[in-house]
Structure 1
Amino acid sequence: MNQTKDFNRVAYYLDMGLGKTFVGAEKVWELNNDVNLVICQKSKIDDWVQHFKDHYPDYEVFDLTHKSQAITFRNRLDTKSVYNRDIQIIGVINYDLTFRRDWLLKISEFTMMLDESSLITNENAKRSKFILKMKPESVVLLSGTPTAGKYERLWSQVQLLGWNISKKTFWNSYVDTKWVENGDGFKQEVIVGYKNVEHLKKKLTQYGAVFMKTSEVLDLPEQIEQKIMFKVTKEYKFFIKNSYLMIDDDTELVGDNNLTKTLYARQLCGQYHKEKLEGFRDLVQSTEDRLIVFYNFTAEYEAMKAIAEELERPVSVVRGGEDDRTAYEESDNSITFIQYQAGAMGGNFQKANKVIYFTLPLGKGSCDLWEQSKKRIHRIGQNNTCFYYYLLVKGSIEEKNLAALQEGKELTDELFKES
């Protein structure tokens, strides 16, 4: 915090597990504005509301996803008492609801904190355009993504820090790209590396940014990754060759474009792969420790949950519309199923030290989801070696996908190109 004590616009690019919540909240308190706004992922709303209620009793805290609380928050803004320092208020709202609340553009003299500020990296997205139009007096950005070296994602964030550099100049100065054939007779620009990185970090430091990796602060336990391989099925081979498959006489898979072909290929490596499901069963039976399982599709979850219940293992789940961590908290042999979009980017699960990847994330944002999913257990409070088990179908898109993720790439159509 000493590095940014003289800044009212700051960015804490701290690796996962370094306590960004506490650092960000403390900076908001230090800035001492009467009106404050936290923008975060939907899954983190309750965490932020509770954090401020627990640690900052002087704030009146509002969950702006609730209509009644949003109305009260707005009423507070309309009264002079707020700006006469009779009361300090803080509202918490998720990214995808923010741009649907035009009244937020009218707020002035406030502190805005973006949790996982990497979510505004696409400056053309509605959420990004809206947030960049807002007029905060002070800004706090929190993210672990930039520490992975994806510096092209910083441009829209540096605008909020007050560095008015154009996107073209930013890329020309710090990002190396080249044009490659995309397979359709056209070329596309791809990032091949970065340049002047130390100068970039120095410049960002001048605008209140702090970069910090876990290894620079903590000596966290070792991480061990293990691949568990399964044979590719004849059904998968047939589908890849013909873009068509009938399953059990009543399910028809038609890959009539790259999107659907990718989808069904992934499912043939997941919920339809009986050997992998049996492998999951074997892995669960091999330990009585808490397990965290990441997955993509509902059918995968239902198949694995059935196995867990058959083995009489307590189950917790974090997925769209459902967040039940009771078994995780109370049972040391529990299995917690986490759908990537719902839980990979947030949550403390360091009571467990073993993660199973039944399937991997794919497409836009997959690198971030995968990198952050690993940090759910590898964080402050973890004293044991962390194990990551990848259930992979040999010779399938899964092997290519994992290799791409390890290289920091996000692949879609390229998965179907010949090796």
Structure 2
Amino acid sequence: NIKNPAAQSTRAIYQLQVRCRIALSGTPVMNNTFDLYSQLEFLLPGMFGSKEFFKREYADAIDRDRNEEKIVTLQKLTAPFILRRTKEQVAKDLPEKTESVLWCNMGMAQKEMYEGIKENIKSNLFLNIKTEGIGKSKLAVLQGIMKLKQVCSSPLLLPGEEQTTGHSVKTDMLLEELANLGNHKVLVFSQFTKMLNLLAETFIKKGISYYQLDGSTPPKKRAAMVADFQEPGNTTNVFLISLMAGNTGLTLTAADYVFLFDPWWNNAVQQQAIDRTHRIGQTKNVFAYKMICKGTIEEKIIQLQQQKKELSEHLIGDNEGFVKQLSKEDVEFLFS
């Protein structure tokens, strides 16, 4: 709750007069190294300098420059004050969790739409990078990635004038998987609320009962749906969940299958989503699938994540901002 040092809640908490301070977090580093600053400044006021100093000396050096010496230095400074216990250490009797990729091959119409939009984004983006530089083009890169991810999920996520087809291979694949799973309970995560709405419409047509949770779901309704889903004998087997609204604070151990409809580039966020069901109380093996369109930017993001994984494991064990650390060569690879 205090990752943003400029937030009013953070500034208020800094003013507490206390003898002992403890900060509790499942993901102290979610987006980038600077996420640590607010927590450390609360715990040990002044020890890590000003915001500007910490950003320059550690956050930028680690996230932007990938300076391994700075990673080691910051790790040594913070290690005496961090007690880290992973789920694997605490809940050794948890059933096995299996994660794999569910490859989706676009049909001709969806593929043609994807390639046309990619070429348009690519020409504009590299002109932008040439005139403004990679640093000032990160927002354009992010927008380009998001648009192509939307086409992969469903062309219906784009404005009507850009749609040349409405066919979504991922929707077809998900329906096929749900039909094969029978009475198993399933969580389906998407970062796009509109995608959840599209899936909901499809489910209604197919006679599939479901629950849906996103950022607009009131807390009482959220709690009621979770309780119903968890109830033994409940026959609604599918829970559609917004990635950001539902990646923490939910226990859904009735489910043993998880589908990440449009995987996020931050591995910590994805793991939190999967762990809604793989947590204490789970008695069944858990199977999690990342739905990836073959030969698209989604596949390239996975490849880049693997290349950059060594950095993300060093500090505390979570992923730093994916887009912020992309080089010009990385961007060329993503849109190639």
TM-score scaled by length of structure 2: 0.69
Instruction: Give the structure 1 partner of residue 332 of structure 2.
Output: 417
Instruction: Give the structure 2 partner of residue 343 of structure 1.
Output: 246
**Match for 2:40: what amino acid?**
V
1:291 aligns with 2:291: no
Q: Pick the aligned partner of 2:215 from 311, 320, 323.
A: 320
Q: Pick the aligned partner of 1:373 from 270, 273, 280.
A: 273
Rounded Cα–Cα distance in structure 1 between residues aligned with 2:141 and 2:59: 29
Q: Pick the aligned partner of 2:14 from 121, 132, 145.
A: 132
Which range moves more in the overlay, 404-413 or 349-358? 404-413
Rounded Cα–Cα distance in structure 2 between residues aligned with 1:349 and 1:139: 32
CA contact (8 A) 1:155 1:167 kept: no
Residues 42-76 of structure 1: CA deviation (Å, up to 9, x unaligned)? xxxxxxxxxxxxxxxxxxxxxxxxxxxxxxxxxxx
Query: Relative to structure 1, is the Cα distance of residues 239 and 174 closer, same or farther in structure 2, using a 3 angstrom cutoff?
Result: closer
Residues 159-179 of structure 1: CA deviation (Å, up to 9, x unaligned)? 222353124787899889469
Query: Relative to structure 1, is the Cα distance of residues 242 and 155 closer, same or farther in structure 2, using a 3 angstrom cutoff?
Result: closer
Rounded Cα–Cα distance in structure 2 between residues aligned with 1:409 and 1:418: 20
**Match for 1:296: what amino acid?**
Q
Task: Give the 3-state SS of the residue equivalent to 2:84 in structure 1.
Answer: strand
Rounded Cα–Cα distance in structure 2 between residues aligned with 1:285 and 1:317: 19
Instruction: Give the structure 2 partner of residue 300 of structure 1.
Output: 195
TM-score scaled by length of structure 1: 0.56
Which ranges of structure 1 fall in alignment gaps of 5 or more residues? 1-118, 180-187, 245-255
Rounded Cα–Cα distance in structure 2 between residues aligned with 1:239 and 1:416: 16
Query: Relative to structure 1, is the Cα distance of residues 134 and 237 closer, same or farther in structure 2, using a 3 angstrom cutoff?
Result: farther
Q: Percent of aligned pairs with the same residue?
A: 21
1:368 shift after superposition: 3.4
CA contact (8 A) 2:211 2:236 kept: no
Query: Relative to structure 1, is the Cα distance of residues 410 and 396 closer, same or farther in structure 2, using a 3 angstrom cutoff?
Result: farther
1:243 aligns with 2:121: yes
Rounded Cα–Cα distance in structure 1 between residues aligned with 2:19 and 2:83: 20
Largest Rg, 1 or 2? 1
Instruction: Give the structure 1 partner of residue 314 of structure 2.
Output: none
Q: Pick the aligned partner of 2:36 from 149, 154, 159.
A: 154
| Structure having the larger proportion of residues in helix | 2
1:203 aligns with 2:104: no
Q: Which has the higher contact order (CA 8 A, sep 6+)?
A: 2
CA contact (8 A) 2:189 2:240 kept: yes
1:386 shift after superposition: 1.2
Rounded Cα–Cα distance in structure 1 between residues aligned with 2:5 and 2:66: 18
CA contact (8 A) 1:367 1:409 kept: no
**Match for 1:195: what amino acid?**
V
Rounded Cα–Cα distance in structure 1 between residues aligned with 2:274 and 2:195: 20
Which ranges of structure 2 fall in alignment gaps of 5 or more residues? 123-138, 156-166, 310-318
1:123 aligns with 2:38: no
**Match for 1:223: what amino acid?**
K
CA contact (8 A) 2:97 2:287 kept: yes
CA contact (8 A) 1:397 1:416 kept: no
Query: Relative to structure 1, is the Cα distance of residues 357 and 166 closer, same or farther in structure 2, using a 3 angstrom cutoff?
Result: same
Give the number of equivalent residue pairs: 275
**Match for 1:412: what amino acid?**
V
Rounded Cα–Cα distance in structure 2 between residues aligned with 1:260 and 1:171: 25
Aligned-residue RMSD, C-alpha: 3.5
| Structure having the larger proportion of residues in strand | 1
Q: Pick the aligned partner of 2:104 from 227, 230, 252.
A: 230
Task: Give the 3-state SS of the residue equivalent to 1:235 in structure 2.
Answer: helix
